[in-house]
């Protein structure tokens, strides 16, 4: 049921305020400025013994895991990283008993993720799942985890599940943080930030008309660059993937600092750049990258907390807690990919060559 939308992609983008509300519902414990995650099956002593977190997923879920790893490092101060599940499987990884492994998947059926889970279990590791589809193979094979509660996602291209997965990682990071060194005040600050998200998402979605206009402006690009730093980098990667999948425009994502190490050679008027520029401690560094692009006559679309004078256009997003910026900054770029694909007459819900869940190797 499309409920008045022209595609599932559009419907699912527009459902995100409600979806985020669902992933938060019943999980916040204000009294202790923490969260309660019923299905985690990891008691406080076990959680405190975790020395490292390794997140495994594919495609968009891998990108959500990259942000998840940053959230866990920032809020819980536990070293964490994300890796594509297939790469992990094929490099005969060292499986460490003090590492908490987390498998991320919308469908819960992605073969590479499932096979990584099975391999880890064979080697005695503890594996949690961050999964959307209840009762799916990965949900069943993991020792516990968090359901993402995004609701059914029909479009091949993942949108609302990405956002909800990142929020679910925010909850996990908060939980791990609050049984370690995260203060009550910081716990409360992040909780308040999470609570504001649904309204802020709704506010951004009301700005869709402006993004439709921008999509017309950029739809005929030969290729597009997406850049960001630290928190902005996974956002850039996910936005580039979204654009590729639905519009078939070639897109590359780089950490902004890597531009001058090679990709700057590609910059010209026909190759615009989308830059993720939050008002955080890296703002000045990001501005320098915008100057480098302008000096090569590159067009720039910034996603920022305020208008960027070096950019040709800025999509202004609401301010959040800095750790949560990636959640809000991703959303207008989903709309940009959608409207670009619409402008180019693409088959939005079923892009060529792609399947909703990849259950083969
Ligand atoms: O169901 P999963 O989250 O495990 O799927 C992983 C990827 O196949 C998926 O995210 C894919 O990249 C989507 N087409 C992204 O839009």
Transcribe 153-219 into DSSP letters. Answer: --SSS-SHHHHHHHHHHHHHHHHHHHTTT--HHHHHHHHHHHHHHHHHHHHHHTTHHHHHHHHHHHT
Q: 239-257 burial, b for 16+ CB within 10 Å, e for fewer?
A: bbbbbbbbbebebbbbbbb
Per DSSP, what are the bridge partners of residue 252?
A: 225
Q: Which atom of ligand 1 is nearest to 57's Cα?
A: 4
Q: How confident is the model at residue 22 (pLDDT cuts 50, 70, 90)?
A: very high
pLDDT for the residue numbered 211: 98
Strands (E), the chain: 28-29, 34-35, 52-57, 80-84, 99-105, 126-131, 144-147, 223-228, 250-255, 273-277, 300-304, 313-316
pLDDT(15) > 90:
yes
Ligand 1 atom nearest 110 alpha carbon: 4
* Nearest residue (CA) to ligand 1, atom 12: 59
pLDDT score at 315: 98
**Residue from 59, 136, 334 whose mutation best tests the ligand 1 pocket (most atoms within 8 A of CB):** 59
Q: Of ligand 1's atoms, which has the minimum distance to the CA of residue 107?
A: 1
Tell me how far the alpha carbon of residue 355 lies from the centroid of ligand 1, in angstroms. Answer: 9
Instruction: Spell out the residues 6+ positions from residue 345 whose beta carbon is closer than 8 angstroms to its own.
Output: none
- Find, among 320, 215, 217, 317, the residue nearest to 276 by Cα: 317
The predicted-structure confidence for 161-198, as pLDDT tens digits, reads as follows 999 999 999 999 999 999 999 999 999 999 999 999 99
pLDDT of residue 111: 97
Whether residue 89 contacts residue 119, with contact meaning beta carbons closer than 8 Å, is answered with yes
Spell out the residues 6+ positions from residue 43 whose beta carbon is closer than 8 angstroms to its own. Answer: none
Per-residue pLDDT, 250: 98
Say yes or no to pLDDT of 361 above 90. no
CB atoms within 10 A of CB 19: 25
Beta bridge partners of 131: 105, 147
Convert the pLDDT of each residue in 204-250 to its tens digit.
999 999 999 999 999 999 999 999 999 999 999 999 999 999 999 99
Give me ligand 1 centre to Cα 65, in Å: 12
Cβ atoms of residues 138 and 117 within 8 Å: yes
The predicted structure's pLDDT at residue 271: 97
The residue whose CB lies within 8 Å of the most ligand 1 atoms, and thus the one to mutate among 139, 152, 158, 159, is 158
Taking the centre of ligand 1 as the mean of its atom positions, its distance from the CA of residue 298, in whole angstroms, is 31
Whose tokens are 């309660």? That residue is 36
In this prediction, residue 349 carries a pLDDT of 95
Bridge partners (DSSP) of residue 147 are 131
pLDDT digits (tens, 9 = 90+) for 250-262: 999 999 999 999 9
> Position of tokens 């939050």?
278
As for ligand 1, residues whose beta carbon falls within 6 Å of it are: 58-61, 105-107, 110, 113, 156-158, 245, 354, 357-358
What percent of the chain is modeled with pLDDT above 70?
100
* The ligand 1 atom nearest the CA atom of 354: 14
Structure confidence by residue, pLDDT tens digits, 312-335: 999 999 999 999 999 999 999 999
CA nearest neighbour of 265 among 220, 301, 313, 225: 225
The reported pLDDT for the residue numbered 27 is 98
pTM of the predicted structure, to 2 decimals: 0.98
Which of 228, 315, 219 lies closest to 272, judged by CA? 219
User: Does the pLDDT at position 109 exceed 90?
Assistant: yes
Long-range contacts of 40-45 (CB under 8 A, 24+ apart): 40/128, 40/144, 40/145, 40/146, 40/172, 40/175, 41/128, 41/143, 41/144, 42/100, 42/126, 42/128, 42/143, 42/144, 44/179
Determine the distance separating the centroid of ligand 1 and the alpha carbon of 357, expressed in angstroms.
7
**pLDDT averaged over every residue in the chain:** 97
Burial of residue 40 (number of CB atoms within 10 Å: 0-12, 13-18, 19+): middle
pLDDT tier at 263, thresholds 50, 70, 90: very high
Q: Which band of pLDDT confidence, cut at 50, 70 and 90, is reported for residue 150?
A: very high
Which residue's CA lies nearest to atom 7 of ligand 1? 59
Question: Is 334 in a helix, a strand, or coil?
Answer: helix
Alpha carbon nearest to ligand 1 atom 11, residue: 59
Amino acid 78: pLDDT: 98
How far the first Cα of the chain sits from its last, in Å, is 31
Residue nearest to atom 4 of ligand 1 (CA): 105
Could you list the active site residues? 356
Query: pLDDT tier at 33 (50, 70, 90 boundaries)?
Result: very high
Q: Report DSSP state, residue 276.
A: E
Q: Is the pLDDT of residue 360 over 90?
A: no
- Pocket test of ligand 1: the residue of 57, 60, 357 to mutate, having most ligand atoms within 8 Å of its CB, is 60
């Amino acid at each position: 049921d499309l409920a008045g939308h022209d595609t599932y992609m559009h419907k699912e983008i527009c459902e995100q305020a409600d979806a985020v509300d669902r992933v938060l519902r019943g999980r916040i414990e204000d009294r202790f400025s923490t969260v309660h995650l019923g299905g985690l099956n990891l008691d406080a002593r076990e959680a405190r013994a975790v020395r490292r977190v390794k997140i495994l997923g594919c495609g968009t879920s891998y990108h959500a895991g990259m942000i998840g790893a940053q959230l866990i490092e920032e809020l819980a101060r536990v070293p964490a990283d994300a890796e594509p599940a297939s790469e992990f499987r094929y490099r005969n990884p060292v499986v460490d008993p003090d590492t908490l492994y987390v498998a991320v998947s919308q469908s819960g059926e992605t073969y590479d993720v499932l096979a990584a889970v099975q391999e880890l279990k064979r080697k005695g590791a503890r594996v949690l799942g961050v999964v959307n589809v209840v009762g799916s193979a990965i949900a069943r094979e993991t020792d516990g985890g968090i359901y993402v509660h995004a609701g059914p996602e029909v479009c091949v291209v993942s949108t609302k599940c990405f956002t909800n997965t990142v929020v679910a990682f925010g909850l996990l990071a908060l939980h791990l943080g609050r049984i370690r060194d995260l203060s009550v005040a910081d716990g409360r600050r992040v909780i308040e930030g999470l609570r504001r998200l649904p309204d802020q998402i709704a506010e951004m979605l009301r700005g869709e008309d402006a993004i439709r206009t921008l999509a017309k402006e950029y739809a005929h690009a030969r290729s597009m660059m997406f850049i960001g730093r630290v928190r902005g980098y996974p956002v850039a990667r996910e936005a580039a993937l979204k654009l590729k999948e639905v519009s078939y425009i070639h897109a590359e994502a780089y950490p902004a600092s890597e531009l001058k190490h090679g990709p700057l050679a590609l910059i010209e008027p026909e190759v615009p750049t989308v830059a993720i520029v939050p008002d955080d401690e890296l703002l000045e560094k990001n501005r320098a990258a915008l100057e480098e692009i302008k000096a090569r006559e590159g067009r720039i679309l910034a996603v920022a907390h305020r208008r960027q004078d070096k950019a040709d256009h800025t999509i202004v997003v609401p301010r959040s807690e800095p750790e949560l910026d990636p959640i809000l900054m991703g959303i207008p770029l989903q709309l940009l990919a959608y409207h670009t694909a619409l402008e180019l007459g693409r088959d939005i819900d079923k892009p060529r060559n792609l399947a909703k869940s990849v259950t083969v190797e």
